[in-house]
Chains A and B, each alone.
Chain A
Amino acid sequence: MEIIALGLSHKTAPIELREKLHIPESELPEILEELSGCGQILERMILSTCNRVETYAVVDDVEGARRFLVELLAERHKLLPEAFEPSMYLLTADQAIRHIFRVASSLDAMVVGESQILGQVKAAYAAALEREATGPILNALMERAFRVAKRVRTETGIATSAVSVSTAAIELAKKIFGDLTGRTVMLIGAGKMSELSAKHLLADGVGTVLVANRNFDRAVELAERWGGRAVRYDFAKLEMLQADIVISSTGAPHQILSKADFEEIIAQRRNRPIFVIDIAVPRDIDPKANEIDNVYLYDLDDLKGVVQANLRERQREADLAEAMIDREVRQFAGWLTSLHVVPTIVAMRKKIESIREEELQRIFAKLQDLTPEERHAISLMTGSIVNKILHDPTMELKRQSALKEGHLYVNVLRRLFGIKEE
């Protein structure tokens, strides 16, 4: 009996192939049903996202299960196995456990630390659970995977920093203004990127949007979409007195706002801070404006620099998470191995218990004068002796089960106690 993870991901397969093998959520019950037809697969679960298609299973025969899964995928997607088999990985035992822990914790994601994957893993598990496709081992594995993912999120900084230009802009804005609720954002020019940044800011609670654009109709259109206000391009500087965050992305061939402009603006704002994001190329705003107190100016390269630094930071935190996962894998693998010794322990206890029962009946038959209380006391005492005698061998067997010599101990014990193979 072995845990396996079989599949492909963004690390091994191009997007075209992943798309072809993608299994929509609506088809999951059906494919889980089909997998139950394979006698080798005892428990199963399928995770299919835009970045990965993976099957987690508990199998009796690894190779047999692999062949079955590959054929099933080929048949369902009308592909030749050769088309996708070279991109697949088959992980077994500890490697498979580590893989699902890493996937759930977002360490195997395209953007390390992104939060979406945990929800997808939970949904995949729920679908398998609903179909009764999982059993005690996969259930325990997934519960542990969710716990590990939670630990990684709370005990490392893997998901705390922004890793896209627009989220980096929001992170910076929050470090200047604290809460963004009710703040005013102003767009100068209406490029795609400024639109995206504004959308993110609105989602974060920004109250008002002002749009200034050379083409006033376009400004009106955008402002209406966000419930904001369009302003004449020529009055942009004046309107900046109201704004807390300015996103500039005009296509102007030269700078449209100088350091002196900002000195004037900040004086009129009575030093109220202003966060300016210049995402135009060439830049709209003189970089020297950043030298002014209470003006925080970031251009596209600065924002990308922040993203890169955050990614590096995430990687450092990911290393901590890997160490955490190593410990969890060892613990789970230990638990899994200890399951192998359970039948032996049960058989050993059963045998000794039956001897005890037999002997008790024999002695009670001889000692007819014993009161029920005395019989009960003798029964308790013998039970206690059995428990005490069995305690040490049981614990030792459990301990050894996690080690390489575990099977040797099981065999010796079976021989010593005369326990037959089931």
Chain B
Amino acid sequence: MELSFTYLALLFYLSASLAYMGSLATRPGKLLRAAGILGRVGFVLHTGAVVVHLYQHGRPPANLGDWLSFYAWATAAVYIIAEIHYESKVVGSFAIPLVVLLLGASAALPKTIETLSPPLKNFGVWAHVVLTLLGNAAFALACCGALMYLVQEWLLKSRHPGVLFERLPSLKLLDDLCHFSLTLGFPLLTLGLLSGVLLSYSAWGSFLSWDGRQIWSTVTWVFYAALLHGRLAGGWRGRKAAILSIIGFCGVVFASMLANLLIRGTHAF
């Protein structure tokens, strides 16, 4: 059941991505509207997959495959909120392909059933996973906005703007989107990390176990703290802020997917 929902969602997301890409290359209008509808149908189906997963397993994702699926879902959710907020669908041409990538990778990975260790069977683990996932999803969206910003800025600076220039939103909207995503993501990540620390203490008696994920998540958090401070206090915006947002997201990807491979620890994957 969960797999059926996942594959269907993937199909709709993929169609939405193609429609979004098409709308960048040709006239938007109907194609962009179709992309928006396909993306939302994909999201509803994906939500079905998430609900079935939670009903069947009764625990948050405990392997990389499940985690990627949840991350894709959170990214789609945050994107839809931003799309409604900014009334701009074009951002979907970057955000939805990312969702496809995450969900596609999730579908391709083997689903090993990990059992949750008894000390982690409490509300804290839910808070930790949900908050971190949503925070990371917001950073994914900030990265999409930043990428679009760099493309649009390059087109403007090159002084030969073309079709893509016309289709992409204004620099202001893209910069605002980055700012919105960062100010949404940072408190969520902070609370997610805090809940993780408390969870670690309640489960193992120490606030930090210094596994790869914890170390790199802390590095990422410090990086985003500096970026947000720079934006708010130092007036960082434009190209520099966009590049830093992208670097920050690379940090997120590394911290959540790869760091654990370097230093094994308390995290399941």
Residues of A within 8 A of B (CB): 154-157, 160-161, 172, 174-178, 270-273, 290, 293-294, 296, 298, 302, 305-306, 309, 313
Contacts and interface: CB of A to CB of B under 8 A. Distances in A.
Q: Please give me the 5 A-B residue pairs with the lowest Cβ-Cβ distance, nearest first.
A: A270-B235, A178-B170, A178-B172, A302-B159, A294-B238
Given A271-B238, A296-B156, A176 B29 contact: no
B240 interface: yes
Nearest to A168: B161
B240 A293 contact: yes
B219 to A, nearest CB: 26
Q: B interface, how many residues as a size bin?
A: 20 to 34
Contacts of B236: 271
Contact of B238 (A174, A293, A306, A313): A293
Contacts of A157: 27, 166
Contacts of A309: 160-162
A160 B166 contact: yes
A176 B156 contact: yes
A290 B157 contact: yes
A243 to B, nearest CB: 16
B170 A154 contact: no
Interface in B204-243: 234-240
Given A293-B238, A313-B162, 12 more contacts: A156-B27, A157-B27, A172-B161, A175-B168, A175-B171, A176-B171, A177-B170, A273-B237, A273-B238, A290-B157, A306-B161, A313-B163
B145 to A, nearest CB: 14
A287 to B, nearest CB: 10
Nearest to B173: A178
Given A175-B171, A176-B156, A161 B240 contact: no
Contact of A305 (B29, B160, B166, B169): B160
B165 interface: yes
Residue among B159, B160, B172, B236 facing the most chain A CB atoms (10 A cut-off): B159
20 contacts: A156-B27, A175-B152, A175-B156, A175-B161, A176-B170, A176-B171, A176-B172, A177-B172, A178-B170, A178-B172, A178-B173, A270-B235, A271-B236, A272-B235, A272-B237, A290-B157, A294-B239, A296-B156, A296-B157, A302-B159
Contacts of A271: 235-238
A29 to B, nearest CB: 40
A160 B163 CA distance: 11
Given A155-B27, A157-B27, A309-B161, A175 B238 contact: no
Nearest to B172: A178
A293 B235 contact: no
Nearest to B231: A271
B215 to A, nearest CB: 32
Residue among A270, A271, A302 facing the most chain B CB atoms (10 A cut-off): A271
Nearest to B233: A270
A293 B161 contact: no
A82 to B, nearest CB: 47
Nearest to A301: B159
Contacts of B237: 271-273, 294
A155 B29 contact: yes
B24 to A, nearest CB: 13
A157 B27 CA distance: 7
Interface string B118-160: 0000000000000000000000000000000000100011011
Contacts of A270: 234-235
B266 to A, nearest CB: 41
Nearest to A294: B238
Nearest to A267: B235
Contacts of A290: 157, 159
Contact of B29 (A154, A178, A294, A306): A154
B167 to A, nearest CB: 10
Contacts of A306: 159-161
A181 to B, nearest CB: 12
Contacts of A272: 235, 237
Contacts of A294: 237-239
Nearest to A308: B160
A271 to B, nearest CB: 5
B253 to A, nearest CB: 26
A294 B168 CA distance: 18
A406 B148 CA distance: 57
Contacts of B152: 175
Nearest to A157: B27
Nearest to B26: A157
Contacts of A160: 166
A179 to B, nearest CB: 8
Contacts of B238: 271, 273, 293-294
Interface in B76-95: none
A272 B172 CA distance: 10
A366 B173 CA distance: 86
Contacts of A298: 159
